[in-house]
A and B are shown apart, each in its own frame.
Chain A
Amino acid sequence: MEKIKIKIDNIEVEVSKGTTIYQAAKMVGVDIPVLCYLNLEHLNIESRPGGCRICVVEVEGRRNLAPSCSTECTPGMVIHTHNLRVMNARKTVLELILSDHPKECLTCSSSGQCDLQTLSQKMGIREIHAVEHAEMSTYRKDFSPALKRDMDKCIMCRRCETICNDVQTVGALSAVNRGFMAVVAPAFEQDLVDSPCTFCGQCVAVCPTGALTPYDDTQKVLRALADPAKTVIVQTAPAVRAALGEEFGLEPGTLVTGKMVAALRSLGFDKVFDTDFAADLTIMEEGAELLGRLTKFLNGDKDVKLPILTSCCPAWVNFFEEYYPSMLDIPSTARSPQQMFGSIAKNYYTQILGVKREDLVVVSVMPCLAKKYECQREEFSTDGNPDVDFSISTRELASLIKSCNMNFDLLPEEDFDQPLGESTGAGVIFGVTGGVIEAAVRTAYELHTGKKLEKVDFHELRGLEGIRMASIDFGGININIGIAHQLGNARKLLDGIRAGMYNFHAIEIMACPGGCIGGAGQPLHHGDSSVIKARSEAIYREDSQKKIRKSHENPYIIKLYEEYLGHPMSEKAHHLLHTHYFEKNKF
């Protein structure tokens, strides 16, 4: 790689050709502030529209200031990152941005999490010089089941646009209007629900302000907890335990399963259950479905639909319903773990408890915003009563714990309740990209070959690469597996299948970067993708520490089938644990 010598703030440094001034400054210990720039290097996601102009620096010999995020170093460049001209420019530009931003930080849901707020603190903004009663750009607010848009707070960083278009290829958001009224919105400024939005929420995950925030149901949860007539149970998704600690200052990747359970119990939930249990159940159904299709295929049935696609991710389901309506019969019909849990809770567990369906409130804690939408889908309710009543995010659980003044550090380690709290390592790894298919392989292998799996770790299925492919030997037959995370990668894989490029038997798809651990309900990464990597490692750590690591060996799952469901894909299982898909095609 060609090397270039430059000088930053009087420090000489040698950088590779193609290095930006921003990156070079980091090498000499200068953190140039940025607002619009986003680089999730572990995930290969970059957004640098060069629009906020906060990261400008002075380059000697250049007429105007240069945006350091998108200006590459050239030989002999002499750069000043904090002289008076630069500091005045940055401060003035930040004041301009703030002059068109609501001053309601005290009550903003992003307060304390807001990059704009942090920056304005860091730069010591104490007043905003502008005309008295300077006009503000205001827009209609937009509420969807998963997220809220309050574009008055939008600073046009365009990160959401990059995520929605370039990363997820959903195309729900783009810049509209011009000049002072320019804003990111769905086409024709229609509501998000009328757009092809999949509610993946990744726009929320990268929004530096309170413009895009989750739809928050915690008040309804608190009201249910306070209602003596209701039994309120909670399920927690695998990815939550690997990230919740971050909200309490713990290192990314710290597992807080036991403390989380204690906190939930302390909040007043009657039972604290684990979505991982339902993940094991998912494997039973999806694994059976995969084996069923495989067997037919191996017996020469040409009409069988292969590859089978996983269907745990609600944003992914929305995505193929919108963009691949002709392929609706390919995904597994198995419901997601959240919904399997809800269905079992409202139909089976109510019988054990002896309570009426409408008196049981099922709350889920999810790393995900699309789950908020998923639990409201009509097909997941009976007589208007949903299987899962409310879905709250990891961040919302953290703020509930904080608002109840619990010292998270001092909480004891507690265990989940039974019977819906027992899970295997296979259920845990659902939280990370490649995990669902690895869990499925562990079970399908043993069921198909009738042999015990010696090595349950399938490293070939792991990692953070966007698209991964592997071939697993199923006792003489090679099963070809595809894995994609982020919807743009899913699109590539699907288009490849349609074009006849691949010969997969099974494909796992997760909408969010890294899988559920990178979900939009998780603690914000603020542009640091190493957080996602740490969470992924934590998930595999939890798996390796589990006594039982294969779903079909979960004793409570076995019991559930014996007592209630019969066998996987039974009529009852079909009724309670499977679903069907609808063509959306809004665009």
Chain B
Amino acid sequence: MAQYKMHLLVCGGTGCRASESEQIVENLKSEIKNLGLENDAQVVTTGCFGFCEKGPIVKVIPDNTFYTQVKKEDCEEIIREHVLKGRKVNRLLYEDPETQKHIEDSKHMGFYQKQMRIALRNCGFIDPENIDEYIARDGYAALGKVISEMTPEAAVELLKKSGLRGRGGGGFPTGLKWEIAAKNKADQKYVVCNADEGDPGAFMDRSILEGDPHSVIEAMAICGYCIGATKGIVYIRAEYPLAIKRLKVAARQARQYGLLGENILGSDFEFDIELRYGAGAFVCGEETALIHSMEGLRGEPTVKPPFPAEKGYLGKPTNVNNVETFANVPAIYLKGPEWYSSIGTERSKGTKVFALAGKINNVGLIEVPMGITLREVIYEIGGGIKDGKKFKAVQTGGPSGGCLTEKHLDTPIDFDNLLAAGSMMGSGGMIVMDEDDCMVSVAKFYLEFTVEESCGKCAPCRVGNKRLHEMLEKITSGKGVPEDIEYLKNLSRVIKDTSLCGLGQTSPNPVLSTIENFYDEYLAHVTERVCPAGSCKALKLYTIIADKCTGCTACVRACPVDAITGEKRQPHVIDAEKCIRCGACYEKCKFTAIHVQ
């Protein structure tokens, strides 16, 4: 193998590929060839670096130079300057938004400084389609260790000791889950990887599968050894073609290396995986619904118990873990449970991957130790609120999470604290909102999603969420009355209390948490008929400030519904009844005479 002086790592995740990162790889390679540098530098397509805001990313190692928003035209310069002459291309370096200085190496970027990568340890470092690169970073060593040195019972015990909890949303202790599945006797058991990532805007699992598929395969094999299963199934969204492709490549390579199949690593342990594609139903992320979907049945949940660990896929004991949970497992076996449990808080160990989105400067994928505060995540990693606006709320936990406010910013993030604050960890969505966001509309937005994604099996979720959404629609269109808030609260509580599965049990969270934390905003909508954030169109009131109006009639001509009247050169008036709040007059007026309330 050639000893390269330099490696150019190019992000091959879905986001950067959409910005032509594949072409960048081609151009870098051809320029290397043009200059005869084939023995000095190698271009590697990797998984996601997480800093999607500034993609496509090209990282040069060993010096950790971090080029952002690289275009295919920049490749020549990168090779000629950086690789050939050793001079960094300054204009492509990340610029610190505060100091406006170029930062030469990723270790000094705020985005990465507070991060700690366990689940994402290989994302952005290795070529996910090359098993050797995974092995070079201790890949499959954990599997080897477990098979050759540990009994299944001891291996389960180790995981229990680590304190790892399920990363899919529920936070159930993973070791305990494995133990239950291990104890249930059956002729066949199954290990299922839940890769049906359905939260809008979330791409934690996709990035792991695209960037480090072997870590999941290895963990599934370890799980198979622990619970006594020979079959693994990855239930993955059909909308993740790249992740599917890389998983398939990885499984094929693992089979070639004897890491899947019969007699793994020379032992008598047998394990293999297959893929099942989800059709894009959010509820299929719920484990019983997922299992029914795999069985070819309607993807809807059933009452638990029986839990899948007792009676799962085809009636056999089945252990279902999500992608991120699995991705943590090999690291825990290699570095030990003590190492893992030293990270995090009292009851939430390790790290958590979040998809940071919304009105924040650094949108992207981050992995942070449990116990970090929301403030650190939003201001230090996320680089603060976009356009210098004021922070208003952060929504965690996906569509059924809650909205947290200023007062929660210094709360250490973990499963229990988020729950206590009226939100949840969920699978790791984190959406930041600023002063322009109306919290009633935000709740309505999330309800729209759950109404769409409810399977319709149980009455409270099927009808209740619909009614919640209708009520929020009523309030945001200015027809609400104060009693409606009580209606929302009672209905939300009953839906949570009576729904069959996690979807309905959490779907009213956005409503309850926004009522709790932004009660005044609701009140303003239903009493004064005003949207304090100025976002609800129906509640905007357009008036003309008589002192400023010159009677130029520009607004009259702009109004599509003839709502504005007045004599030439005299102050005009807007008929609020006719006005459709389109804002055309506001745009046209040169004298700032239009007032919007």
Name A's B-contacting residues (CB within 8 A): 48-54, 56, 64-65, 67, 70-72, 85, 88-89, 92-93, 96-97, 99-100, 129-131, 134-135, 155-156, 158, 174-175, 177-183
A-B contact pairs, 7 of them (CB 8 A): A51-B458, A53-B499, A53-B500, A65-B497, A130-B467, A179-B452, A179-B466
Nearest residue, chain B, Cβ from A176: B298
B293 to chain A, nearest CB (A): 12
The contact of B474 among A49, A52, A129, A131, by CB within 8 Å, is: A131
Residues of B within 8 A of A183 (CB): 456
Q: Is the CB of A177 within 8 A of B456?
A: yes
A151 to chain B, nearest CB (A): 12
Nearest residue, chain B, Cβ from A53: B498
Q: Is the CB of A52 within 8 A of B459?
A: yes
Q: Is the CB of B470 within 8 A of A156?
A: no
Q: Is the CB of A53 within 8 A of B459?
A: yes
Q: Is the CB of B497 within 8 A of A64?
A: yes
Nearest residue, chain B, Cβ from A48: B303
State the CA gap A275–B505 with chains docked (Å).
55
Nearest residue, chain B, Cβ from A183: B456
State the CA gap A340–B359 with chains docked (Å).
78
Known: A49-B457, A156-B459. Is A88-B490 also a contact (CB below 8 A)?
Answer: yes
Q: Is the CB of B471 within 8 A of A53?
A: no
B305 contacts A by Cβ under 8 Å? yes
Q: Is the CB of A93 within 8 A of B303?
A: no
State the CA gap A85–B456 with chains docked (Å).
24
Known: A50-B458, A129-B487, A156-B462. Is A175-B498 also a contact (CB below 8 A)?
Answer: no
Q: Is the CB of B490 within 8 A of A92?
A: yes
Produce 1/0 per residue, B517-555, CB < 8 A to A. 000000000000000000000000000000000000000
Q: Is the CB of A156 within 8 A of B456?
A: yes
The contact of A156 among B457, B464, B471, by CB within 8 Å, is: B457
The contact of B462 among A89, A131, A182, by CB within 8 Å, is: A182
B453 contacts A by Cβ under 8 Å? yes
Most chain B CB within a 10 A radius of its CB, from A51, A64, A158:
A51
Q: Is the CB of B302 within 8 A of A50?
A: yes
Name B's A-contacting residues (CB within 8 A): 281, 283, 298, 300, 302-303, 305, 451-460, 462-467, 470-471, 474, 487, 490-491, 494, 496-500, 505
Residues of A within 8 A of B454 (CB): 178-180, 182
Residues of A within 8 A of B464 (CB): 93, 96
Most chain B CB within a 10 A radius of its CB, from A135, A174, A179, A180:
A179
Q: Is the CB of B298 within 8 A of A70?
A: no
Nearest residue, chain A, Cβ from B455: A178
Q: Is the CB of A51 within 8 A of B500?
A: yes
Q: Is the CB of B471 within 8 A of A179?
A: no
B467 to chain A, nearest CB (A): 5
Known: A135-B466, A156-B462, A174-B298. Is A85-B497 also a contact (CB below 8 A)?
Answer: yes
Q: Is the CB of A51 within 8 A of B498?
A: no
Q: Is the CB of B458 within 8 A of A99?
A: no
Residues of A within 8 A of B452 (CB): 179
Q: Is the CB of B451 within 8 A of A180?
A: yes
State the CA gap A175–B289 with chains docked (Å).
14
Nearest residue, chain B, Cβ from A35: B459
State the CA gap A50–B451 with chains docked (Å).
20
Residues of B within 8 A of A48 (CB): 303
Q: Is the CB of B303 within 8 A of A50?
A: yes
State the CA gap A312–B528 with chains docked (Å).
72
B531 to chain A, nearest CB (A): 19
State the CA gap A189–B458 with chains docked (Å).
21
A208 to chain B, nearest CB (A): 13
State the CA gap A80–B115 with chains docked (Å).
48
Q: Is the CB of A65 within 8 A of B456?
A: no
Q: Is the CB of A97 within 8 A of B498?
A: no
Nearest residue, chain B, Cβ from A161: B298
Residues of B within 8 A of A53 (CB): 458-460, 498-500
Residues of A within 8 A of B457 (CB): 49, 51, 156, 158, 175, 182
Q: Is the CB of B455 within 8 A of A182?
A: yes
Known: A64-B505, A67-B303, A134-B470. Is A97-B456 also a contact (CB below 8 A)?
Answer: no
B180 to chain A, nearest CB (A): 16
A457 to chain B, nearest CB (A): 42
A76 to chain B, nearest CB (A): 16
Q: Is the CB of B456 within 8 A of A180?
A: yes
Nearest residue, chain B, Cβ from A158: B457
Most chain A CB within a 10 A radius of its CB, from B300, B490, B498, B500:
B498
A181 to chain B, nearest CB (A): 7
A360 to chain B, nearest CB (A): 50
Q: Is the CB of A178 within 8 A of B474?
A: no
State the CA gap A118–B409 with chains docked (Å).
51
Q: Is the CB of B467 within 8 A of A99?
A: yes
A185 to chain B, nearest CB (A): 12
Residues of A within 8 A of B474 (CB): 131
Residues of B within 8 A of A100 (CB): 463, 466
The contact of A180 among B460, B466, B499, B505, by CB within 8 Å, is: B466
Residues of B within 8 A of A96 (CB): 459-460, 463-464, 467
B345 to chain A, nearest CB (A): 21
Q: Is the CB of B456 within 8 A of A89?
A: no
Residues of A within 8 A of B500 (CB): 50-51, 53, 67
B290 to chain A, nearest CB (A): 15
State the CA gap A180–B451 with chains docked (Å).
7
State the CA gap A356–B361 with chains docked (Å).
91
Q: Is the CB of A56 within 8 A of B498?
A: yes
Residues of B within 8 A of A85 (CB): 497
Q: Is the CB of A179 within 8 A of B462?
A: yes
The contact of A93 among B465, B487, B498, by CB within 8 Å, is: B498
Q: Is the CB of A175 within 8 A of B490?
A: no
Residues of A within 8 A of B462 (CB): 156, 179-180, 182
